[in-house]
């Protein structure tokens, strides 16, 4: 192996291969070519943004325009309000989740939960949500499935295998003052990778796959849910 004394070199330029599509299928021991975007800029930081620029970012939502979906009246583990199934060989990293209520009903309890699990279910019973590539030229299609307003017992309970809740919010406490100005609950909540810095990495497991489940339980709740993520082959991550 040749040793380079970088302190003695002058006028050295690092040349990288400009690519809008890094090689995501390389084997573990393959040599890698240092990649850059087409303008030559490096992508050693903001990796999730770089993957989106390369066509590996996706979005799905429940409800659109003035047509909301109906949320579960109470928390029901096997009936999430948005569900993304991740097949074996695929890995996704959530980048944002938004839950917006148009109506909440009379019950004070509002439970907004984000959960990931190694117990997935590809036979979802709900309303199919289209998964769009975040690049409008749609260079790739997602390997995942997404459904919203999942029926009761519409999936296998994801609280099994390896699982954890990574996001939970609750409505504000009711104010007892006469004005009741603070009785009005927050109607929109958002989780994003920029605030947490350590997003869950959902590696699709063999046989059942894995999943992302979002719940927005409210007594008579209706509204909208949007989720975005970056998706790559699992061998690119593990």
Q: pTM of the entire structure?
A: 0.82
Cβ neighbours for 6, distance < 8 A, ≥ 6 positions apart: 12
Q: What is residue 10's DSSP assignment?
A: -
Give the pLDDT band (50/70/90) at residue 177: low
Q: Taking residues 144-165, what's their average pLDDT? A: 96
Unique residue bearing structure tokens 């999430």: 80
pLDDT digit string (tens) for 105-123? Answer: 876 678 899 999 999 999 9
Domain boundaries, the chain: 59-236
pLDDT on residue 196:
86
pLDDT digit string (tens) for 182-226? Answer: 556 668 899 999 888 899 999 999 999 999 999 999 888 999 999
Distance CA 224, CA 18 (A): 39
Sign of the C-alpha dihedral, residues 160, 108, 62, 188?
Answer: negative
pLDDT digit string (tens) for 129-140? Answer: 999 999 999 999
Of 126, 129, 117, nearest in space to 155 by CA:
126
Distance CA 142, CA 132 (A): 8
Q: Say how far residue 177 (Cα) sits from the centre of its chain.
A: 39
Buried (b) or exposed (e) across 118-132, using 16+ Cβ within 10 A? bbbbeebebbebebb
């Amino acid at each position: 192996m040749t040793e380079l004394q970088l302190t003695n070199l002058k006028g050295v330029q690092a040349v990288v291969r400009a690519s809008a599509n890094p090689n995501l299928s390389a084997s573990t021991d393959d040599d890698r070519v240092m990649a850059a975007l087409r303008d030559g800029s490096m992508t050693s930081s903001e990796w999730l943004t770089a993957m989106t620029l390369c066509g590996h970012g996706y979005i799905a939502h429940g409800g659109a325009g003035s047509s909301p979906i109906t949320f579960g009246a109470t928390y029901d583990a096997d009936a999430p309000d948005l569900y993304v199934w991740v097949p074996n060989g695929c890995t996704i990293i959530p980048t944002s989740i938004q839950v917006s209520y148009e109506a909440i009903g009379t019950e004070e309890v509002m439970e907004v939960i984000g959960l990931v699990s190694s117990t997935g279910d590809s036979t979802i019973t709900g309303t199919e949500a289209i998964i769009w590539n975040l690049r409008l030229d749609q260079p790739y299609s997602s390997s995942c499935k997404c459904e919203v307003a999942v029926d009761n017992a519409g999936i296998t309970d994801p609280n099994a295998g390896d699982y954890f809740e990574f996001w939970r919010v609750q409505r504000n406490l009711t104010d007892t003052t006469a004005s009741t100005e603070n009785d009005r609950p927050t109607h929109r909540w958002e989780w994003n990778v920029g605030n947490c810095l350590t997003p869950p990495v959902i590696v699709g497991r063999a046989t059942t796959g894995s999943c992302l489940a979002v719940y927005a339980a409210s007594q008579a709740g209706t509204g909208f849910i949007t989720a975005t993520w970056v998706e790559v082959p699992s061998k690119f991550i593990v």
